[in-house]
Copies of this chain bind each other. A is one copy, B any other.
Amino acid sequence: MFSYINGTMPAWLKTAARIPVLAFADSCLRGIGQVVFMNNPFTGLMILTGIYFFSGWLGFAGTFGVAVSVLAAIILGLNRETIRAGLYGFNGVLVGLALATFSKNMWDGRVIIFILILSAISTILTEALNKIFDVWKIPSFTLPFNFVALLFLAASFYFFESTIISVAAPPLPAITDVVDNIYYLDIIFIFNAVFRGIGQLFFVNNPLSGIIIFAGILAASRIAGTFALVGSGVGMLAGVALGANSYTIYNGLWGFNTFVAAIAIGGFFYVLTWRSALLAIGCAIVVALLFGAISAFLVPWGVPALTLPFCLGTLAFVLIGKTSLVFTPVEGTMTTPEQHLQFFYAKNQ
């Protein structure tokens, strides 16, 4: 049973391919998993569970966003294998979640129409950016989501006289939990910061949801799961070191960019060695600094940094490996950190 949901689930990929509806659902779930680099529908399902557990409206918006963006890819005749790997879905799910998070009222029909339009646009932008980034053999990460969502949020006061979207005054996602009597950096603080950090990537501010999502990552890859914890922890510590507001740290806002960055560098884009493990921590620190810097940079528009810090920081760290003498970038099809290690050892024996 466990070996079936491990890795990229190739057996299930073939099973699902027989029934179009299943294949579509599989593409969507893999799309959700790809937000954390996991081409695995079980990871996607766990993430979705974590989101629905936090809010039905958010769950619906994410589901609708990913479905629209995958459908758009099919209608536009884009590469089928890429669609099946979920690579046209991970921006759409985030577009849906972002719009639902910042909508003034839940279940607003106009917001749902905007999710429809903007998720489809995210697919077009994904394809366009991929064409551009192909030159350097690098992915565009969640840049399409960031561009679409940031422009929409910055322009939201334009649409329907600002009655549907409200960007919170500080350039940070809304903080729902009030923490009054916590002891700074005690075990409860750390637990919350780390697991809320994992949840916040999906606009979910709830440690239990974070644990469910973490379990989904762990099922696909133990290495990725480990770096998720490490990355979220590094982000928390960076926030503390920079003297950031402890409410924002407790609520995981310093962790959601850094944990994906750590997964990316620690085993996914580089074969895992002690050097690339250190590089992953270094990347998480840079991404944390970028979180502060980009949040400040976006102040004139009153919008949050979303995952721009992760995108820009990790891109730089992926690029430096191309000719470095001490790191081993993963080449060919990317699957999971574990398989990258296996292939590397098999090749160098």
A interface with B by C-beta (< 8 Å): 76-79, 117, 121, 124-125, 127-128, 131-132, 135-136, 151-152, 154-155, 157-161, 242-244, 285-286, 289-290, 292-297, 299-301, 315-317, 319-320, 322-327
Q: Is the CB of A155 within 8 A of B297?
A: yes
Q: Is the CB of B77 within 8 A of A327?
A: yes
**Which B-chain residue is minimally distant from A297 (CB atoms)?**
B154
Identical copies in the complex: 3
Q: Is the CB of A326 within 8 A of B76?
A: yes
> Could you say which of B78, B292, B319, B326 contacts A77, with CB atoms under 8 Å apart?
B326
Q: Is the CB of B322 within 8 A of A77?
A: no
Would you give 29 A-B contacts (Cβ < 8 Å), ordered by A? A77-B324, A77-B325, A78-B320, A78-B323, A79-B323, A117-B285, A117-B289, A124-B286, A124-B316, A124-B317, A124-B320, A127-B324, A128-B319, A131-B319, A131-B323, A135-B135, A135-B136, A151-B290, A151-B294, A151-B296, A155-B295, A157-B296, A158-B293, A158-B295, A159-B242, A161-B243, A296-B301, A300-B300, A300-B301
How far, in whole Å, are A300 and B297 apart by their CA atoms in the complex? 9
Which residues of chain B are within 8 angstroms of A293 by Cβ–Cβ distance? 151-152, 154-155, 158
Which residues of chain B are within 8 angstroms of A79 by Cβ–Cβ distance? 323
Supposing A77-B327, A135-B136 touch, asked if A320 and B152 sit within 8 A by C-beta, the answer is no
Which residues of chain B are within 8 angstroms of A158 by Cβ–Cβ distance? 242, 244, 292-293, 295-296
Which residues of chain B are within 8 angstroms of A316 by Cβ–Cβ distance? 124-125, 128
> Could you say which of B76, B286, B327 contacts A121, with CB atoms under 8 Å apart?
B286
Q: A interface, by DSSP: helix, strand, loop or mixed?
A: helix
4 nearest CB pairs, A to B? A77-B326, A155-B296, A77-B325, A128-B319
How far, in whole Å, are A285 and B121 apart by their CA atoms in the complex? 10
> Could you say which of B76, B151, B295, B327 contacts A324, with CB atoms under 8 Å apart?
B76
Distance from A83 Cβ to chain B, minimum over Cβ atoms (Å): 11
How far, in whole Å, are A325 and B78 apart by their CA atoms in the complex? 7
Which residues of chain B are within 8 angstroms of A297 by Cβ–Cβ distance? 151, 154-155, 301
Distance from A92 Cβ to chain B, minimum over Cβ atoms (Å): 15
Which residues of chain B are within 8 angstroms of A296 by Cβ–Cβ distance? 151, 154-155, 157-158, 301
